[in-house]
Chains A and B, each alone.
Chain A
Amino acid sequence: MGEHRRRSAQTTGKLFFLSVVQTEVPPLFVVEFLHRVADTFQDYFGECSETVIKDNVVIVYELLEEMLDNGFPLATESNVLMEMIRPPTILRSVVNTLTGGSNVGEKLPTGQLSIIPWRRAGVKYTNNEAYFDVIEEIDAIVDKSGTTVFAEIQGVVEACVKLSGMPDLTLSFMNPRLLDDVSFHPCVRFKRWEADRVLSFIPPDGNFRLMSYHVSSQNLVAIPVYVKQNISFLETGSCGRLEITIGPKQTMGKTVEALMVTIHMPKSVLSVNLTATQGSYTYDLTTKALIWTIGKLNPQKLPNLRGSLSMQSGVPKPEENPSINLDLKIQQLAISGLKVSRLDMYGEKYKPFKGVKYLTKAGKFQVRT
């Protein structure tokens, strides 16, 4: 059968998906598909772990059968798959055992054939609602002295659309010029975007990612917090010092929440003895990860973590101080300043309930020390 090569894709958790490739094929094709498989499992079973897959092995088989035919992806939209193979629920399994019904749909999903394969037909809701979350992540590298080496904003618009029938939505932004590079869910009409800078689409049913975008690093990126740090390992004796203070910088008047600091200590750090003015910290001895969970940032009383590190003796002191990874959330704020101006619906008569939520998160936010 020729030589076998493998490609693996890791998902969340510690599960590896492996696929065997016999001939030349674009590697991303395979990788992307494996990620879709993992996403589908996530959708079906709520999580994607070894036990879940073992428990649902039959559905997994059925799913793979539908998703792949002789190595070519068939249906990868979970909307379509759900119509063919219904996800397991307790209620349904009870009903099935009583009636002898099955999990497998009788008909070919209509979406598979129509020009909008992502939406199933005959959707009906009593409450028609459409929610959009604008989530932005700040990727930044801040150097020792506090100057930003690199910063950019990556954003996504996640949508949760529960609308009956075939609604045709148009979402427009106040300031679409901010968006530097965008990628869309296949449902978005690219031509409209090119011409009018509005998102026009017939949404899939349920949760989906409408678009992801990039705000260029040319624009100034507001860094919401500053970190004052002092980590030192003493040459003599086997100990070191650590002091970290975090304060607000450009928060646009919003509170910074869910603040968390992660530091991967050098291998020679045996234990830490610290005191935190706010929140709590843990130090994992095996992974050498110091995690300080702070929570809300109070501008009046800045959180501070200080104390000593005890080191393995006899080992030379580490060359470099570990860098600090920051995690944070700011509710009701898109840090790039992007704003949704309106959402219009055509094609259906009812009046949907609409909502937009903004959230800013730290993505790969790193402070070098």
Chain B
Amino acid sequence: MLESNKESLKLEAMKRIVQLISKGKNASELFPAVVKNVASKNIELKKLVYVYLVRYAEEQQDLALLSISTFQRALKDPNQFIRASALRVLSSIRVPIIVPIMMLAIKEAATDLSPYVRKTSAHAIQKLYSLDPDQKEQLIEVIEKLLKDKSTLVAGSVVMAFEEVCPDRIDLIHKNYRKLCNLLVDVEEWGQVVIINMLTRYARTQFTTPWKEDAVFDENNEKAFYDSDSEKKKEQTETKAYIMDPDHRLLLRNTKPLLQSRNTAVVMAVAQLYWHLAPKHEVSIVTKSLVRLLRSHREVQFIVLQNIATMSIQRKGMFEPYMKSFYVRSTDATHIKTLKLEILTNLANEANISTILREFQTYVKSQDKAFAAATIQAIGRCATNISEVTDTCLNGLVLLLSNRDETVVAESVVVIKKLLQTQPTQHSDIIKHMAKLFDNITVPMARASILWLMGEYCERVPKIAPDLLRKMAKTFTVEEDIVKLQTVNLAAKLYLTNSKQTKLLTQYILNLGKYDQNYDIRDRTRFIRQLIVPNEKSGALSRYARRILLAAKPAPVLESAFKDRDRFQLGTLSHSLNVKASGYQELSDWPVVAPDPTVRNVEVIEPVKEWASSLGKTKQHKSDDKFYSDEEEKEEEGSDSSGSEDSSSSSSNEESGSESEEESNEESEKTSSDSGKSSSESERSSSESEAEREKKKIKPAVADSDSGESEARTSSSSAESSSESESDSENDSAPQKTDVKAKPKMEVKSKKEVSLLDLDDFSPAPTNTPKPSVISSSLLSDLEGLSLSNTSSTLQITTSSFGPVKTYELLHHMTGKGLSAKYHFPRQPCLYQPRMVAVQVMLTNSSDRSLEEIHIGDRSPASLNIHCFNTIERLEPGASVTVSMGVDFSDSTQAANFQLCTKEDQFSVSIQPAVGELLMPTTMTQPDFCKEQKKLLGMNETSATIAIATANTSSQTISKQVLSVANVGVVPSSNNFHRFAGHTVSSGAMVLVSLELKESSTALLTINTEKSVMASMLLRDLKQALTQA
């Protein structure tokens, strides 16, 4: 029919031939007749001839040459489709003689106008290379040319060719790197996979690692992800410290949208790219997409689960939120089930273990016995990894021993054996229980395990073990090899510990073993006999038999089967087979020093533009990072006040870090913001605040020139005036505000007319009112400002004669490599939490370079509750900044230790509070004081008679001395009595100090408080202060 003139007949004939081929029949004898039709005009016929040719050309090389001229002609065809298909077939004919022709054709096609033909030529490169590897050099030239192609159609194919022919010629990629990154989204999906994989390899050789060593370590650490915030912070700062190559960032950014691809291979490729290249905290964005893939076909599920299993070992946190997606359904195939189980086990931690174990309980009962057995092993792993649940798991497993299914029981025995070994505590009842079950268990592995357990702990079950050995002696000959071996072991161990009872039995078993069919058992028997039965020849070794056989054995480590999978690149065939496949290329380690990034620069103007824009975007991204960190910090405390940030930044601009200035700054800011809010009187108030600000501008100067005392005064007066102005302008603002605001005024009054006003209604320090967690940040900043004004007014009341603030050194500039820090207790209620003591830290940079990212790192004890100041991004040389932080000392004078970190360094520092700083002043009247004092008698009273220096006898100086030691409030009282009241910051316990002046400059100092330790310390401090002149 092929000879026929009619096209349709020829077509019919060709179809028949193709059918023949498909059935596996040899149609090669038709070759001459078929080849003639290669020049046919009918495209379908032509295509079928192509199919035939590709199939048989290698066998009939001479005849195939006949067709070559037709192809050569077709390569010049005006129809690009025909050109391309001719090249495709030509390159598919594996005839070595035509290699030069192919080479020529490829070179020509590579410069074709049609991208489709160029794409085909890229494919042809691979084919030619596999036919004749000698052409490599020439082919690389073509690849280099094609790599420069801007068409998305070509990109995928040429990278494929690159991977095939010269994967080590990384230098060819440099110039095209950015182009490939930018084109990536538009490349067809198969090309995307290939390009992403290639770029992963490329990036690993060209960029430095975004992971710091210890960060990696943290990740491996089980708890890392859930651990304290400080660790998170550390990680962040490390990534900040590392500056990512913009090209590296470009790659990450351009691949991210591809996570949304419908092609699972693309998603997986991006996932592995992120896994291998992205900074640790960015990897988690792939989680969602990977979990989505689990909805796909079964095979896809299998591969994705394998990869997740590997990932979940290193990074629990990534998949933990999606834990439930890995719950097993009874309809899943067994291999899927076991993989899910693996992942669940990997994800288990203290927090979710109960949920997981509950889920496992259902699985154990599964009808799929292989799966049930795997579950038992998983329980065993959970039990060893998480010590809290070991006992629960063990009990559960013991219950399973009475299961009816043999495989389940056997598996439980094996797992229990391992568990008992890891925990050699008193579990003899479990061993006994297992001995009882021994008769019913037939699975050799389980029997062997029980025997081994008996031998190992034979001293714990002295009666049962010999009996078991007796049973074994009976059945020895019919047991499996593994059981026999363990029987011999048991016999030997028993012989050593309890030779009286078991000597004969042991000898009997050794005799049986001597003539066993298995040489292993014979060997073992011989060895054991020599070891334990003393005779002339045995010599020194037998003396140590006991030590040899009954040595403490290290517990087995139950770990994931996927532990070592990470040596393969994720998403590769090698990874899923766990065997190195041919052609697998190891992912290289990060280079220590990045190779020259300029090689990627392209001379053409257009890409440079891209480059610039990418730079800009990178910056944007960086700020994103910052944003994140802020947010996290906010989350940490639940209340981060924008006000404090403002204050620190504003004060950092100023030269001096004097407290008063800062306060006043804040004040002015606050008033202005308030005034913005008040609707009716906005103008007036704003003008007022304007005036306010002006006032303040003058004040710092005054404060600077004056002594510390005047400083305090200015601040307080300014505070007062501002609070007044506020209350003027803000009559219509939120009731909460006015409420708080009203208080200071009242207090001011109360000071003057104590007897008139009963102040019991007021809580001691009105500033305790802020409940930061609920109130919005703007309101918070308002309140903050208020609280400041409050305290200063309270200070005015209580510490009118109070001297300069004591400043303590936190970090000397010598030890701090230029960073010095001093701290003092501002004696204000802490803004962040009422239970905290406010501490102001003045950081000064006395080095000659600017310090970056000053923040607080690790703290100890870990439970220590510190409100950290916001990270200071930059501190110029010579500049200083004052930041406030809060520390919850829990009413103890134990020092708060933490680390002050800069970008490069960490310094351990500690704040040692004086006992008096742990107090807050309480305002009360004399009758109230007496009433409270009566409640705190007996055990709660500490007193001492002290000699007061004559200079100190005036009531003013006494107050001054007392207040310098302790942050308490003066209670107005009669002549010879001085009373001070306060409460502890953390627990709010009342602390009452009374001083009764007696003749000849002695005085009785009495302290009433529940905190007896504090009382004695305070007494000592006060005594010291008062006796000194």
Interface of chain A, helix or strand or loop or mixed?
Answer: mixed
Q: Is the CB of A57 within 8 A of B582?
A: no
Q: Which residues from chain A contact B153 at a C-beta distance below 8 Å?
A: 112-113
B 156-188 binary contact with A (CB < 8 Å = 1; else 0) = 110010000000000000000000000001101
Tell me the bound Cα distance from A141 to B323 in angstroms: 13
Tell me the bound Cα distance from A18 to B443 in angstroms: 38
* Contact segment of A26-34, A251-259, A278-286, A297-305: A26-34
Answer whether residue A122 sits at the interface, using C-beta atoms and an 8 A cutoff. Answer: no
Q: Which residues from chain B contact A143 at a C-beta distance below 8 Å?
A: 362
A 88-120 binary contact with B (CB < 8 Å = 1; else 0) = 000000001100101111111000110101000
Q: Is the CB of B585 within 8 A of A24?
A: yes
Beta-carbon contacts under 8 Å, A54-83 to B: 57-58, 60-62, 65, 69-70, 72-73, 76
Q: Is the CB of A26 within 8 A of B81?
A: no
Q: Is the CB of A319 within 8 A of B365?
A: yes
Q: Is the CB of A72 within 8 A of B327?
A: no
Q: Which residues from chain B contact A65 at a C-beta distance below 8 Å?
A: 47, 50-51
Given contacts A115-B186, A366-B330, contact A9 B299 (CB under 8 A): yes
Q: Is the CB of B324 within 8 A of A217?
A: yes
Answer whether residue B1020 sits at the interface, using C-beta atoms and an 8 A cutoff. Answer: no
Contact of B268 among A22, A26, A117, A266 (CB under 8 A): A26
Tell me the bound Cα distance from A198 to B585 in angstroms: 41
Contact of A61 among B18, B123, B152 (CB under 8 A): B18
Q: Is the CB of B582 within 8 A of A2?
A: yes
Q: Is the CB of A31 within 8 A of B264?
A: yes
Contact of B324 among A97, A112, A149 (CB under 8 A): A149
Answer whether residue B583 sits at the interface, using C-beta atoms and an 8 A cutoff. Answer: yes
Q: Is the CB of B19 within 8 A of A102?
A: no
Q: Which residues from chain A contact B50 at a C-beta distance below 8 Å?
A: 65
Tell me the bound Cα distance from A139 to B571 in angstroms: 27
Q: Is the CB of A5 within 8 A of B573?
A: yes
Interface of chain B, helix or strand or loop or mixed?
Answer: helix
Q: Is the CB of B115 within 8 A of A26?
A: no
Contact of A366 among B19, B262, B297, B329 (CB under 8 A): B329
Q: Is the CB of A152 within 8 A of B44?
A: no
Given contacts A10-B298, A113-B115, contact A107 B81 (CB under 8 A): yes
Q: Is the CB of B403 within 8 A of A319?
A: yes
A 1-45 binary contact with B (CB < 8 Å = 1; else 0) = 011010111100000000001111111110111010000000000
Answer whether residue B750 sits at the interface, using C-beta atoms and an 8 A cutoff. Answer: no
Q: How far is the CB of A120 from chain B (nearest CB, A)?
A: 15
Beta-carbon contacts under 8 Å, A315-369 to B: 316, 318-320, 322-323, 325, 364, 366, 368
Answer whether residue A264 sits at the interface, using C-beta atoms and an 8 A cutoff. Answer: yes
Tell me the bound Cα distance from A69 to B123 in angstroms: 7
Tell me the bound Cα distance from A154 to B294 in angstroms: 11
**CB closest residue in chain A, given B355:** A149
Beta-carbon contacts under 8 Å, A162-188 to B: 180-186
Given contacts A9-B297, A24-B583, A26-B572, contact A70 B126 (CB under 8 A): yes
Contact of A108 among B22, B79, B156, B185 (CB under 8 A): B79
B 74-112 binary contact with A (CB < 8 Å = 1; else 0) = 000001110010001001100000000000000000000
Q: Which residues from chain A contact B330 at a C-beta distance below 8 Å?
A: 264, 322-323, 366, 368
Q: Is the CB of A212 within 8 A of B84?
A: no
Answer whether residue B812 sits at the interface, using C-beta atoms and an 8 A cutoff. Answer: no
Q: Which residues from chain B contact A29 at a C-beta distance below 8 Å?
A: 190, 193, 265
Answer whether residue B807 sits at the interface, using C-beta atoms and an 8 A cutoff. Answer: no
**CB closest residue in chain B, given A21:** B573
**CB closest residue in chain A, given B288:** A181
Q: Is the CB of A186 within 8 A of B262?
A: yes
Q: Is the CB of B367 within 8 A of A112?
A: no
Q: Which residues from chain A contact B123 at a C-beta distance below 8 Å?
A: 69-70, 72
Tell me the bound Cα distance from A185 to B261 in angstroms: 7
Q: Which residues from chain B contact A104 at a C-beta distance below 8 Å?
A: 43-44, 47
Answer whether residue B803 sits at the interface, using C-beta atoms and an 8 A cutoff. Answer: no
Q: Is the CB of B297 within 8 A of A107?
A: no
Q: Is the CB of A28 within 8 A of B329?
A: no
* Contact segment of B3-11, B312-320, B823-831, B955-963: B3-11
Q: How far is the CB of B276 from chain A (nearest CB, A)?
A: 13
B 330-344 binary contact with A (CB < 8 Å = 1; else 0) = 110000000000000
Tell me the bound Cα distance from A185 to B84 in angstroms: 28
Q: Is the CB of B367 within 8 A of A102?
A: no
Q: Which residues from chain A contact B572 at a C-beta distance below 8 Å?
A: 24, 26-27
Q: Which residues from chain A contact B257 at a C-beta distance below 8 Å?
A: 190, 194
Q: How far is the CB of B996 from chain A (nearest CB, A)?
A: 65
Contact of B289 among A115, A183, A194 (CB under 8 A): A183
Answer whether residue B116 sits at the interface, using C-beta atoms and an 8 A cutoff. Answer: yes
Contact of A23 among B292, B299, B303, B581 (CB under 8 A): B581
Q: Is the CB of A319 within 8 A of B404?
A: yes
Contact of B577 among A5, A32, A35 (CB under 8 A): A5
Answer whether residue A209 sits at the interface, using C-beta atoms and an 8 A cutoff. Answer: yes
Q: Is the CB of A70 within 8 A of B92?
A: yes
Q: Is the CB of A10 within 8 A of B324?
A: no
- Determine the interface band of chain A, counting residues with CB < 8 A from chain B: 35 or more
Q: How far is the CB of B58 from chain A (nearest CB, A)?
A: 13
Tell me the bound Cα distance from A217 to B11 in angstroms: 57
Q: How far is the CB of B823 from chain A (nearest CB, A)?
A: 43
Tell me the bound Cα distance from A301 to B88 in angstroms: 67
Given contacts A28-B300, A104-B43, contact A214 B292 (CB under 8 A): yes
Beta-carbon contacts under 8 Å, B175-211 to A: 185-186, 188-190, 193, 197
Q: Which residues from chain B contact A267 at a C-beta distance below 8 Å?
A: 367
Residue with the greatest number of chain B CB neighbours at <10 A, chosen from A60, A182, A267: A182
Contact of B303 among A8, A27, A103, A181 (CB under 8 A): A27
Q: How far is the CB of A287 from chain B (nearest CB, A)?
A: 12
Answer whether residue B574 sits at the interface, using C-beta atoms and an 8 A cutoff. Answer: yes
Q: How far is the CB of B5 from chain A (nearest CB, A)?
A: 11
Answer whether residue B45 sits at the interface, using C-beta atoms and an 8 A cutoff. Answer: yes
Beta-carbon contacts under 8 Å, A146-161 to B: 149-150, 152, 154
Contact of A112 among B116, B160, B291 (CB under 8 A): B116
Tell me the bound Cα distance from A24 to B6 in angstroms: 47
Answer whether residue B714 sits at the interface, using C-beta atoms and an 8 A cutoff. Answer: no
Q: Which residues from chain A contact B470 at a C-beta distance below 8 Å?
A: none
Given contacts A107-B81, A141-B329, A318-B367, contact A28 B265 (CB under 8 A): yes
Tell me the bound Cα distance from A325 to B303 in angstroms: 25
Residue with the greatest number of chain A CB neighbours at <10 A, chosen from B45, B156, B329: B329
Q: Which residues from chain B contact A318 at a C-beta distance below 8 Å?
A: 367
Q: How far is the CB of A78 from chain B (nearest CB, A)?
A: 14
Residue positions of B touching A, CB distance < 8 A: 6-8, 11, 15, 18-19, 22, 42-45, 47-48, 50-51, 79-81, 84, 88, 91-92, 114-116, 120, 123, 126-127, 152-153, 156-157, 160, 185-186, 188-190, 193, 197, 257, 260-265, 267-269, 288-289, 291-292, 295, 297-300, 303-304, 324-325, 327, 329-331, 359, 362, 365-367, 403-405, 571-574, 576-577, 581-585
Residue positions of A touching B, CB distance < 8 A: 2-3, 5, 7-10, 21-29, 31-33, 35, 57-58, 60-62, 65, 69-70, 72-73, 76, 96-97, 100, 102-108, 112-113, 115, 117, 141, 143, 149-150, 152, 154, 180-186, 190, 194, 209, 212, 214, 217, 264, 266-267, 316, 318-320, 322-323, 325, 364, 366, 368
Contacts beyond the supplied A322-B330, A366-B331: 13 A-B pairs with Cβ under 8 Å: A2-B583, A23-B584, A24-B582, A26-B193, A27-B572, A33-B265, A62-B47, A149-B324, A182-B260, A184-B260, A212-B262, A212-B292, A319-B404
Closest 7 CB pairs of A and B: A23-B583, A102-B44, A108-B81, A320-B365, A104-B44, A28-B265, A24-B584
Sample 28 A-B pairs with CB under 8 A, ordered by A number.
A10-B297, A10-B298, A23-B581, A26-B265, A26-B572, A28-B300, A32-B265, A60-B22, A69-B123, A70-B123, A70-B127, A100-B6, A100-B42, A102-B43, A102-B44, A112-B153, A113-B116, A143-B362, A181-B288, A181-B289, A181-B292, A184-B260, A209-B262, A214-B292, A214-B295, A323-B330, A364-B331, A366-B329
